Copies of this chain bind each other. A is one copy, B any other.
């Protein structure tokens, strides 16, 4: 903004950041948000709108010429936006995995936004860079990650937006390492490995990185291993690939798969991978957060043999979106694959080699001050509370599991390890299970999703939305059981 004559005299001076307005309106927004949270339970968790609903209501095809007052915007949000929201923070949200929040996370986000710093290199935001390194080391220590994954070792941590980016960055590092190592290695020869339970983001990242789709191995799992990837099958596949003249490159192992929370045996898989010089990445997006509790840390056993690990505090550590932690054993391999050095970013601290330039640890150049949020969550809550938060969610999932197991019409399909319960109506096909899920979701009072594991359609009940209490879990179960009873009764009647 400015105050030059180029502003035509007829237009009043435009000040996009008038501090009186800022203060007044931001206070109003705080109250609007607190009121929203207070009312969220009474809103349908899954909206009842049809595709295209908003274009019909938000009529203008072009943006408005004149300003709209904030009050009118809040009222449009209430009238038009809210009815089309899937309320992820509703205590009745049991779909996918929860995206958890906290006052500390919200405050951290406010402060981080307010700085609007773009910490692509150290100089562009020393505090943002250094706090990120510190907080990543903090979390590494809390998770008892190997020393090499920290900045005092050969590695270090960086905040990414999503697991996809974490996988993409490490995959490119692995790819560059492999191609540099031998002139006979071409990108077409590189093979990557996951299981049929690995998240869909893995093959997508591979495709983006130019790995041939025919070289993405999806190794089958079964109920025998509780849907974990078998080191023996991995070994056989790698042997076959090498025999075919291919080059094993990258393994994505998972701690807490999306479908059913299966846990791949990291140590055994890494032992196999090591024989083939393969980069081992551990995707612990959801369940990794639980490993801040000593009783869950076992699920990360073997990570000391891996090359990288990612987990997303926006899933289970109360940070709000987006916050995905990536640690690497060897930061140089990441940096040498992703570094850029244009003239307009050159500066003495970077040239000295004594600083971290996070642009060389990620896909993009620009980056927000995400570390502040994670730092504030750790600091304002403290580790003891965060552990009790994990345990409380797991406790609620155990409660739901008991309710399911206590009803002989239902069965729990895979062992429950964290906050996810996979269950189904016993002895009936996909159709009826699917209808139960649809009827339950149609109530608007509960939102669950489904998956297919081992060829079976199952319902997923993921506990952990920040506002969920015991009574919501119990009420959800009553609705599920009620809908199942109705549908089973209908089936009986039609026989």
Structural contact, A11 and B130, CB atoms closer than 8 A: no
Across the interface, A200 reaches (CB within 8 A) one of B38, B312, B365, namely B365
Known contacts A30-B27, A65-B382, A395-B2: does B321 contact A366 (CB below 8 Å)? yes
Interface stretch, picked from A53-61, A262-270, A406-414, is A53-61
Residues of B within 8 A of A58 (CB): 131, 134
Complex alpha-carbon distance, A102 and B312, angstroms:
30
Structural contact, A116 and B138, CB atoms closer than 8 A: no
Known contacts A4-B396, A382-B64: does B116 contact A89 (CB below 8 Å)? yes
The number of chain A residues touching the other chain, given as a range, is 35 or more
Structural contact, A398 and B6, CB atoms closer than 8 A: yes
Most B CB contacts (10 A, CB to CB) among A52, A89, A126, A345 go to: A126
Complex alpha-carbon distance, A48 and B70, angstroms:
39
- Chain B residue nearest in CB terms to A257: B344
Distance between A258 CB and nearest chain B CB, rounded to angstroms: 6
A172 CB-CB contact with B under 8 Å:
yes
Residues of B within 8 A of A205 (CB): 363
- Chain B residue nearest in CB terms to A356: B51
A494 CB-CB contact with B under 8 Å:
no
- Chain B residue nearest in CB terms to A260: B344
Across the interface, A53 reaches (CB within 8 A) one of B99, B126, B352, namely B126
Known contacts A63-B378, A104-B16, A343-B259: does B116 contact A162 (CB below 8 Å)? no
User: 28 interchain pairs (CB within 8 A)?
Assistant: A6-B392, A7-B392, A11-B384, A14-B392, A16-B104, A19-B38, A21-B103, A22-B33, A26-B33, A26-B103, A26-B107, A33-B110, A46-B123, A47-B126, A54-B127, A61-B137, A63-B141, A65-B384, A67-B381, A86-B124, A88-B117, A110-B113, A163-B364, A164-B363, A164-B364, A200-B342, A205-B363, A343-B452
Residues of B within 8 A of A365 (CB): 162-164, 199-201
Structural contact, B470 and A4, CB atoms closer than 8 A: yes
Residues of B within 8 A of A87 (CB): 115, 117
Across the interface, A467 reaches (CB within 8 A) one of B1, B62, B203, B385, namely B1
- Chain B residue nearest in CB terms to A472: B2
A84 CB-CB contact with B under 8 Å:
yes
Bitwise interface map of A from 465 to 494 toward B, beta carbon under 8 Å scored 1, else 0: 011111001000000000000000000000
Residues of B within 8 A of A49 (CB): 126-127
A109 CB-CB contact with B under 8 Å:
yes
Distance between A409 CB and nearest chain B CB, rounded to angstroms: 24
- Chain B residue nearest in CB terms to A104: B16
Interface stretch, picked from A207-215, A239-247, A325-333, is A207-215
Complex alpha-carbon distance, A208 and B364, angstroms:
11
Distance between A295 CB and nearest chain B CB, rounded to angstroms: 11
- Chain B residue nearest in CB terms to A138: B63
A428 CB-CB contact with B under 8 Å:
no
Complex alpha-carbon distance, A445 and B336, angstroms:
35
Structural contact, B381 and A165, CB atoms closer than 8 A: no
